[in-house]
Amino acid sequence: MKRIGLFIIFLAVTFYNFGNLFSSTDSSRELNLFKEIRCLVCQSQTIHESNSELAEDIKLLIREKISEGKTDDEIKQFLVDKYGEWVLMTPRFNQYTYLLWGAPLIIFIIGFWFLSNKVRRFKENKE
Amino acid sequence: MKNKIIYFIPIVVTLFMCLFFFFSLSNDTSKLSSPIIGKKVPEFSLVSLFQNKENFNSSALYSKTPKIVNIFASWCVPCRAEHDVLMLLSKLEGVEIYGINYKDDPIKAKNFINELGNPYTNVGIDEQGRTGIDWGVYGIPESFIIHNGKVIYKHIGPIHISELDDTILPILKDLK
């Protein structure tokens, strides 16, 4: 019985958060953008975490742009044009970052190749 | 023997990473390269700090003679330190400095100029800091060299007298 109760709570929490993920109310859009933009004064913080004046100004600017009907990409592009690619906390996939994004896959393939070689040799030795 | 070598690869890779991170420590991230260099100046029209002057517009920067745009505020301590250098620079022939008064009280800004001297041809008031964002400002003082309405150079932080000779003046000379 206790298990079923816990399971229901688990489902409820999961679906609640799942719903948040897809709802695109302005305040959640706003928050997602705030968490995505680097504060240039305190450089390892996002503007969401920072309370520096510049961060506050940029938050205000993002709110205005959202109410003007700009998309997230347009807003990000605006800030990238002013402050550079670095202002985004998650680097975008482009000609400078393909190695960065591809590295995990490359490392995985090398590891897989290495391991499968080992396993094959191990098997051969056994036989 | 061949198999033994493989065990050294992680050590070598780690060593290289250590070296890379060690040298990255001395990278100064406070001075970011600005994407607006080489681009046209942002559009703006700011009310002048001086009563007898017209608005400071971006059109004032579309000129064959190079202009300097200096973003400052009275609350900014390094701006105070830089001011003497700006005064010196403004006295040179053919150099015009425009100011953008960033997030400041206009009265305090006027006092600042009255006290330390006025190197500016015109000063625009940017009380909300919105024009500052358009210029990609994040830590004033910041100065820009403009030629034909295009951003040629950006200097972050106060201009030191030695930087005047080393970088600013040679750039201005090249543009003439």
What are the residue boundaries of the structural domains of chain A, listed by start?
2-92, 93-127
User: How far does the CA of residue A39 sit from the closest CA of chain B (Å)?
Assistant: 9
pLDDT at B73: 93
User: What is the tens place of the pLDDT at every residue in B134-165?
Assistant: 998 888 899 999 999 899 999 988 999 998 88
Residue B144 lies in domain: 36-175
**Cα separations in angstroms, A9 against A3, A4, A19, A20, B136:** 10, 9, 15, 17, 47
Interface test with B, best of A38, A47, A53, A57 (most B CBs within 10 A): A57
Interfacial residues of A (vs B; Cβ cutoff 8 Å): 40-41, 43, 53-54, 57-58, 61, 80-86
Q: What pLDDT score does B32 carry?
A: 66
Residue B75 has pLDDT above 90, yes or no: yes
Amino acid at A61: L
Task: Tell me the shortest Cα–Cα distance from A23 to chain B, in angstroms.
Answer: 30
The residues pairing with B72 across neighbouring beta strands, listed in sequence order, are B101
Q: How confident is the model at residue A62 (pLDDT cuts 50, 70, 90)?
A: very high
Q: Tokens for B108, please give them.
A: 């305090």
The overall average pLDDT reported for chain B is 89
pLDDT tens digits, one per residue of B12-69: 999 999 999 998 887 766 666 778 888 888 999 999 999 888 889 888 888 888 999 9
Q: Do B136 and A83 touch (CB under 8 A)?
A: yes
A85 interaction partners in chain B (CB closer than 8 Å):
35
* Cα A85 to Cα A108: distance, rounded to the nearest angstrom: 27
- Looking at beta carbons, which residues of chain A come within 8 Å of B32? 40, 83-84, 86
User: CA-CA distance, A47 to A43, in Å (whole number)?
Assistant: 9
pLDDT over 70 (residue A65)? yes
Cα dihedral B11→B17→B22→B23 (10° resolution): 130
d(CA B112, CA B76): 11
Residue B132 inside a domain? The answer is yes
Residue B42 lies in a domain: yes
Touching A: B residues 38-97, CB under 8 Å = none
Nearest-angstrom CA–CA distance, B116 and B67: 21
φ and ψ at B105, to 5 degrees? Answer: -85, 120
In a domain, B4, yes or no: no
Q: Is the domain covering A2-92 a CATH 3.40.50.11540 domain?
A: no
Give chain A's mean pLDDT: 85
Instruction: Quote the pLDDT of residue B31.
Output: 66
Supply the CATH number for residue B74's domain: 3.40.30.10
Residue B149's Cβ-count burial label (10 Å; 0-12, 13-18, 19+) is: middle
pLDDT value at A18 more than 80: no
Q: Which of A82, A85, A86 sits opposite B133 (nearest CB)?
A: A82
Residues in chain A within 8 Å Cβ distance of B135: 82
Tell me the pairing of strands B56-57 and B96-102. Answer: unpaired
Report pTM: 0.75
Nearest to B32 among A58, A81, A86 (CB): A86
